[in-house]
Amino acid sequence: MAENKKLRILCIHGYRQNAKTFREKTGALRKLTKKHADFDYITAPHRVPPGNMGSAAWAGLPAPDEKGSSCDTQTADPGERGWWFSREDEYFKSTDYSDVSVGFEQSVDMLRKVLEKGNVESCEQSDSFQGYDGVLAFSQGASLLSMLCLIQQKEQRKWFKFAILVAGFKSRSSKHSHHYQEKTSIPSLHVYGESDQIVSNEMSEELLQYFDNPKVWIHPGGHFVPATGPQKHMYVDFFKEMQKL
């Protein structure tokens, strides 16, 4: 890839978020890196049920009111979404050791299609298809991305060339353990906060063993995508390196 060509990056939100809210929360990141990358955002297929109060902090938001959102589309306001649930009652918690993985396969199938066509909006591959250069994901989305990286390598796919995992963790669902049987050689950047109270540093560090030569950036904050002055060089330097692939 020419060094001056912008990267195309697919962004996968965290639990209780959606494409719109994640785009808003990464506005500073897009501004810092606008010369180097364009970002597409996708919404998970599963609605978090109204009244599911237990994990509001995952989205960095206060808990919703009892009515929640009645909209179930990607185009308007899809409400709070998740990529899978760790309990049968449609609840998710990263620390759950569980035999449950409600909705996971549907999410993987959805992302397969998007990565193969290289476009979130269109249902078909366009004549100007170029695919995604990389994927950026947060929290539950980053856990899912870790498995997509391993699936991609196992199946010898070429969906994307690099991964950025913010507040990522290894899934504790027994349904996912077969994905974590080997390492992936995909270039990766792992970002997590020293004071993250939602995904512990130990959980993010546990994930590193499945990546060859992972780059790691630890910021002083909590459960969010950091994008202030000190982080600019980290992202830009990584993107410049990825533009050479």
Distances (CA, A) of 9 to 64, 137, 164, 200: 30, 10, 10, 26
CB 72 within 8 A of CB 44: no
Strands 134-138 and 162-166: parallel
Q: Is position 223 annotated as part of the catalytic site?
A: yes
193: left (phi over 0), alpha (psi -120 to 50) or beta: beta
Q: Is position 219 annotated as part of the catalytic site?
A: no
CB 226 within 8 A of CB 195: no
| CA angle at 47 for the pair 45 and 53, rounded to the nearest 5° | 145
User: Which residue among 139, 146, 173, 204 is the active-site one?
Assistant: 139
CB 110 within 8 A of CB 97: no
Pairwise CA distance, residues 54 & 132, whole Å: 34
User: Which residue among 13, 55, 86, 196 is the active-site one?
Assistant: 196
Q: 148: helix, coil or strand?
A: helix
Dihedral of alpha carbons 84, 80, 53, 25, sign: positive
CB 131 within 8 A of CB 205: no
Q: Is position 176 annotated as part of the catalytic site?
A: no
Give the residue numbers marked as catalytic. Answer: 139, 196, 223
